[in-house]
Amino acid sequence: MDTQISDNELRYQIALTQIDSIGPSLAKYLLERFGSASAVFNASKKDLLDIEYFGNYRAEKIIRYNNFSAADTEVLFVQQNKITPLFINDAGYPKKLAACSDAPTILYYKGSAPINQARIISIVGTRLPTQYGKWLTSLIVEQLAPYNPLIISGLAYGIDVTAHQTALDCNLQTIGVLAHSLATIYPAAHQHIAKDIIAQGGLLTELSSTARIEKFNFPKRNRIVAGLSDATIVIETETKGGSMITANLAFDYDRQVFACPGKITDKKSSGCLRLIQTHKAAMLDSVATFIDALGWAPITTKPITPKVQQNLTDSEKTILTLLDHQIPVSIDEIYLKSMLPNAVLAGSLLNLELYGLIGALPGKTYLRLLG
């Protein structure tokens, strides 16, 4: 963190997550009511009790909280290891995840890839895949590469690490969501690829540096994998396991879920077939099917020719400077920042799209194309 003020606020933010009776939903409500984590801790008992159903037990937990030394230890760990803390009401917190009711109150992120991107895909599956499963994972990521998605997975053995490695090989950004703190890497065999992921993406967790590796944190981690993404692809899985948890969560979050079909006699395809059978996942028979369902157009690398550059109007140049390669910008935001009349704005956007300089995305948002 850059300033003493922000360090101090981070201290309160971390402390809020350490009160076991204050879950994500309640934390969000408290922040909306009081404005900041420090304001929550500085609130009077009367102010806390004025909250309907909050109760004396929770109020006392906040008023009498005295473990700020643990929060200070975490602040120091964050500073020393160049970790970015993302609090639930921060502008940089993952927007797709924030829409989920059980989104973590705080996330710890180490990496360089923007988390709020236009196209984010989770790829999950069994830790013990078949050769076909590993081949299919690589094929899917390779065929997605022209669309430049951010690839999310859980850094586990099998499908997860295959998705990460193929993304790296294809020069795609990839983020590993951990079920443990950033103080360690599990499994230990993935320490090397974890370094590569940090350099070309990032590692993300909700757990503080002092948290131990616990079995129950792995299913909890899966809600982050599901919530970060536009869509989840399940490659191979049995009917029980982490991948099924992720798929069901993604379905509950109203995200698109896709499952790769396999042999009906193959136990490792039984979970995928169950998801398709119960209409919780669409059958992924090709990447083209997936792309069509999401309505993506390829992100081109067509260079902007000098002739096109010279022919751009002032309004088109203004719009182009407002758009980003990674984060989609709504037409309302473009209108407010450009101050262009509606008719001029609409015509300029159309021209830029025809020139291949910008891409239109669902929800009346636009993205500047690479090139």
pLDDT digits (tens, 9 = 90+) for 145-165: 989 999 999 999 999 999 999
| Whether residue 143 sits in one domain with residue 62 | no
Cα 82 to Cα 2, 77, 100, 346: the distances in Å are 11, 8, 27, 43
91 exposure class (CB count in 10 Å sphere: 0-12, 13-18, 19+):
exposed
Last residue of a domain, one of 273, 294, 315: 294
Which of 5-19, 69-83, 114-128, 135-149 has the weakest average pLDDT? 5-19
Residue 39 has pLDDT above 90, yes or no: yes
Domain presence at residue 7: yes
| Whether residue 192 sits in one domain with residue 145 | yes
| Whether residue 187 sits in one domain with residue 324 | no
Q: Render pLDDT for 306-320 as a digit per residue (tens, 0 to 9).
A: 545 557 899 999 998
Domain presence at residue 226: yes
Q: Render pLDDT for 9-20 as a digit per residue (tens, 0 to 9).
A: 999 999 999 998
| Whether residue 268 sits in one domain with residue 340 | no
Domain presence at residue 67: yes
Domain presence at residue 100: no
In the numeric block, the tokens 């230890």 are attached to: 73
| Whether residue 266 sits in one domain with residue 140 | yes
Domain presence at residue 32: yes
Helices 68-80, 4-17: axis angle to 10 degrees equals 120
1 pLDDT tier (thresholds 50, 70, 90): very low
Amino acid symbol at 287 = V
Question: Which pLDDT score, from 0 to 100, does residue 302 have?
Answer: 46
This prediction has a pTM of 0.79
| Whether residue 275 sits in one domain with residue 359 | no
Residue 117 has pLDDT above 70, yes or no: yes
| Whether residue 322 sits in one domain with residue 221 | no
| Whether residue 326 sits in one domain with residue 287 | no
Residue 232 near residue 257 (C-beta atoms within 8 A): yes
Task: Give percent of the chain with pLDDT exceeding 90.
Answer: 74
| Whether residue 315 sits in one domain with residue 267 | no
Domain presence at residue 86: no
Last residue of a domain, one of 272, 294, 316: 294
| Whether residue 258 sits in one domain with residue 129 | yes
| Whether residue 142 sits in one domain with residue 260 | yes
Residues 6+ apart with CB under 8 A from 149: 117, 119, 120, 121, 172
Last residue of a domain, one of 26, 56, 80: 80
| Whether residue 192 sits in one domain with residue 322 | no
Domain presence at residue 104: no
Domain count of the fold of the chain: 3
Question: Which pLDDT score, from 0 to 100, does residue 53 have?
Answer: 85
Question: Which pLDDT score, from 0 to 100, does residue 326 have?
Answer: 59
Average pLDDT over residues 284-289: 90
Rounded to an integer, what distance in angstroms lies between the CA atom of residue 267 and that of residue 239?
Answer: 8
Q: Which domain holds residue 249?
A: 120-294
